[in-house]
Every structure is written in structure tokens, then in C-alpha cells.
Amino acid sequence: MVTLNLCLDQLVLALAAPGQVVGVSDIAHDPRISPRWREARALPPVRKHAEEILALRPDLLIVDEFLTPSLRKTLRLAGIPTLELAEADGIGATLDHIARIGAALGRPAAALDLAASLREGVARWTAAAGPASPVAAIYQANGMTLGRDTNADGLLRIAGWRNLAAERGLSLFVPMAMEELIVATPDLLILDGETSDRPSLAEQMMTHRAARRAFAGARTLVMPHSLWLCGGPQNVEALRLLAGAREALKR
């Protein structure tokens, strides 16, 4: 089988038996965003091009919602069974993905184990949340933030944080002006980890002097993409970092 989405790659690699996966998405090889990049590098990278997919003759294709109509049509004509899963917007959706991928791969026992360890990790880092909880603001490249219905928002809640963007009624991936961020004076600024060893203007915004002065010391946390971009077992490590940042606030 072949997967074509970074997040689904991770779950498939965690659940599949040796030899079951023959291709993963082309960005799964990147250690900065892909938790299972080592395993992924043993497999050929596949882009969302019909030719590359068909060449591997997959018996199952696991994809996200973002296929072009023409690719969808080609895959249907080629008769490749396809499992389409929407982006996970929290631990609940991730657990659902694990169960469905486990069933599709014929590995229900592995799925139960993975789900149990994820539940256990989440339980370990679950903190009481309420109106008095500290506020965290996510500030990513190009001045973007994550609001409700995102995996990051769900993890923040579990770790006992309030998400500034969600409190403002924002959902999904939306821009937030740096001025608004500074005026809101959140307790913690969560920045992206780097995506490559070369700079970009987009990422330079995260280290703007104004942000550095407003959120000095313990008020900044750099969250690697690989830990919370996707729903999966790696989220437990993200929860640990978020819990640590909460502890640091108290000191």
C-alpha cells in the first residue's frame, strides 16, 4: 500500500507489518516535520502524480481530502482501492484514524496497542483547565496562528492551556497581526521549529525584535513541527513540552 499524506504516513508506518508499505509521501523523508523519517527513508517518496502512484501498483491507497479531481478520476479508472481520511483535528480524530488504518491494513491488534499507549500518554499529561488557565498564542511562519478545530489547539487544551486564537473565536489556520499578539499579552508564545537550514522571510517574522522583546525567556516555546503538526504518538512529547512550559510559568 501507498500513503500520500505526511500525517497518514506516520500512522501507517507505526501500524504496518514489514513490507506492507511500498511508498510514502515525498515530505515524509524530512526529519524536521516527519517523526518517522528514518523508516520513511527506506521507502520511495511518492508525489500526488498519477504516474508515480500507479508505478508502485498499490493494493491500497491512503489519502487526505486534497486530491485534484483529475487524479481522483484516474485512480478510480485504474481501480485502486482508496481510503480517504480527513485531517485529524484532535486526539479523538487521531484515535479514529488509528482504528481505521489498523483495520484497512489487517493489523487491528497493533492499532489497539498504539491507541492504548496514546491514551495513556494523554492521560499522563492532562491538566485541569479553566478560565484561570494560562493563555498560549501560536505564532507561525508568515504570521499565521492555529485556532479551534486543529490538532495543536486540542493538545493545548489537554495540557491545561487556553489558546489565544481559539478564545478570539478563530478557527483553523489563520493570520494574526503581530501587533494584536503583543497587545493580547499571552503568557506563552509558541513558535515553529525550523523547516530547513536556509532562512525565509516567512520564518524571520517569528524572530522579529518586537516578539523577542515582548516574550523574553520562559515566555517562548519552540515547538518542532514533527511533534504536533500531525495527530499521532509523537503528540505525547508535545504534551510533555507544553506541561513543562506551564511549570516554568509558575517559577
Partner 1 sequence: MRGVNAALGVFVAVLFVVSIAVGPTGFAPLGALSDMLSGRDAPMALILVELRLPRALLGVIIGAALGLAGAAMQGLLRNPLAEPGVTGVSATAALGAVLTFYGGYAGATPLALPLAGVVGAASGAILLLAIAGRDATVATLILIGAALNALAGAATALVLGLSPNPYAFYEIGTWLMGSIADRGLDHVALALPCVALGCLPLLLARRGLDALALGEETARGLGVDPRRMTLLVIAGAALAVGGAVAVSGVVGFVGLMAPHAIRPLVRYRPGASLVPSALAGAALVLLADIALRLLPTGRELPLGVMTALLGAPVLWQLAWRARRSGQTPWL
Residue whose entry in the numeric block shows the C-alpha cell 510533555: 240
Beta-strand relationship, 144-146 and 173-175: antiparallel
Q: At closest approach, how far in Å is the CB of 177 from partner 1?
A: 4
135 lies in the site for partner 1, by CB under 8 A: no
Q: At closest approach, how far in Å is the CB of 142 from partner 1?
A: 7
174 lies in the site for partner 1, by CB under 8 A: no
DSSP SS3 for 63: strand
> How many Cβ atoms from other residues are within 10 Å of residue 141's Cβ?
16
Q: At closest approach, how far in Å is the CB of 6 from partner 1?
A: 12
Binders in 196-215 for partner 1, by CB under 8 A: 196-203, 205, 208-210, 213-214
Q: Which stretch binds partner 1 (CB under 8 A): 17-25, 60-68, 130-138, 179-187?
A: 179-187
Do residues 16 and 107 make contact, with C-beta atoms less than 8 angstroms apart? Answer: yes
Do residues 51 and 44 make contact, with C-beta atoms less than 8 angstroms apart? Answer: no
Residue whose entry in the numeric block shows the C-alpha cell 481559539: 166
Residue whose entry in the numeric block shows the C-alpha cell 500507479: 54
Q: Which stretch binds partner 1 (CB under 8 A): 87-95, 122-130, 136-144, 239-247?
A: 136-144
E-strand spans in 81-147?
A: 82-84, 135-139, 144-146
CA–CA dist 162, 129 (Å, integer): 8
Binders in 143-162 for partner 1, by CB under 8 A: 143
Q: At closest approach, how far in Å is the CB of 181 from partner 1?
A: 10
Complex with partner 1: residue 117 or 185, whichever CB lies closer: 185
31 lies in the site for partner 1, by CB under 8 A: no
Tell me which residues touch partner 1 (CB under 8 A).
141-143, 175, 177-180, 182-183, 185, 195-203, 205, 208-210, 213-214
